[in-house]
Amino acid sequence: MIALIESHRAVDGDVGILRRVDGRIQIIEGDRIRNPPDAGTSGDWVGGAKVSPLGRPLRYAIWNRKPSGGFEFERTVDARWFDLLAFTTRRDQIRGVSLFAPAVKMISYLYDGLDFALAKMKLEQFFGLKTTFEDGGALVGTPTTDAGEIGRQASEVFGGDLLHLALKVGEDAQFMESNNPSQNFQTFCENVVRMVFAALDVPYSFYDGSKTNFYGARGEFEQYLDTVERKQAPTVAMLNEWVFDWLAPNWLLDPVDPLVLPDGWTLDDVAADCGWRGAGLPSWRLFEYVKEAQAAISAGLVSPLALADSFGEDMRRNIAEIAATRAFAKERGVFLPFGETQTINNGL
């Protein structure tokens, strides 16, 4: 569901998440959030959100899609139970802006251009024959001046998919022919694709690795991770609010199966000890960065837990699994190289 929410936020600019009474959440797509019928022109409603004089959202209006098209007003909900996750660029902005907005016009141009290029390529694939006879003629059999007969004879000789033009003396016809698609058009397509990737803060080397070398790709990848972390921050804040301010207090009070915290712990302690982790780096990069990671940990530049998270790994789980594996091997008299005694080398 988080992946779907992020997809809506990127494409539509924002997405609403309604917290239901039964503890579930419901995704409300951005186009279903619009001013109610009685909004009028007072200015209290902006893009489906009723705002205070200081711009704080108070309520949201939700509409349903009709099977015949269009929308039908459903209800308004209090902003306390409705999270609008949006990409914003201004302080007073109420609704979000799609990441594709800077490139959407160029994408439409590219869409039309590809259609025209394909039509031109199809035209060039026709096998064409042009015939001009002064006093009648024939490709096979008896000479004739009937264009239809000449076309039939041409089909017999060259096949039924032949495009035939029977011209009179003095007439001429030529097919448009060029290197299609042209190099200029290919360059234009590449620039538009680059623009789309730039709008998403995604390196172009993800699409075409031949456009950079290893070090360039690595630098682009590091910058991409920085942008991803910034984009994830509002989602992480929303998830923490869901769990620790909304769901967990109800779980603690559940009369049937209450949530039990460790002795002496509070929800704040749990929140401080938990976190949200993305997919992380591909696993092959983990082994590539081992020496650099060890140096960074030794210098105190990064914590082992944070570094493991960046690679999509859970350090606590890994240590528990290693301990269980070591105990299992010890019971059966098998020596493992990662025993309890570790050699300290280079300060690590």
Q: Rounded to the nearest 10 degrees, how much is the dihedral formed by the CA atoms of 241, 201, 302, 273? A: 10
Q: Are 94 and 49 in contact (CB under 8 A)?
A: yes
Neighbours of 112 (CB within 10 A): 9
Give the integer Cα–Cα distance in Å for 148 and 146.
Answer: 5
Give the integer Cα–Cα distance in Å for 309 and 225.
Answer: 12
- The yes-or-no verdict on residue 344 having pLDDT over 50 is no
State the pLDDT at residue 133: 59
pLDDT in tens, 43-73: 789 999 999 988 899 999 999 999 988 999 9
- The yes-or-no verdict on residue 120 having pLDDT over 80 is no
Residue with tokens 């300290």: 344
What's the pTM? 0.66
State the pLDDT at residue 19: 93
DSSP 229-295: HHHHHHHHHHHHIIIIIIIHHHHHT-SSS---PPTT--HHHHHHH-------S-HHHHHHTHHHHHH
Could you tell me which residues come within 8 angstroms of residue 192 by beta carbon, excluding any fewer than 6 positions away? 103, 106, 107, 109, 110
Could you tell me which residues come within 8 angstroms of residue 98 by beta carbon, excluding any fewer than 6 positions away? 10, 11, 12, 13, 87, 104
pLDDT (average), residues 230-235: 88
pLDDT (average), residues 169-182: 62
Which residue ranges make up each domain of the chain?
A: 2-86, 277-348
Q: Which residues pair with 79 in a beta bridge?
A: none
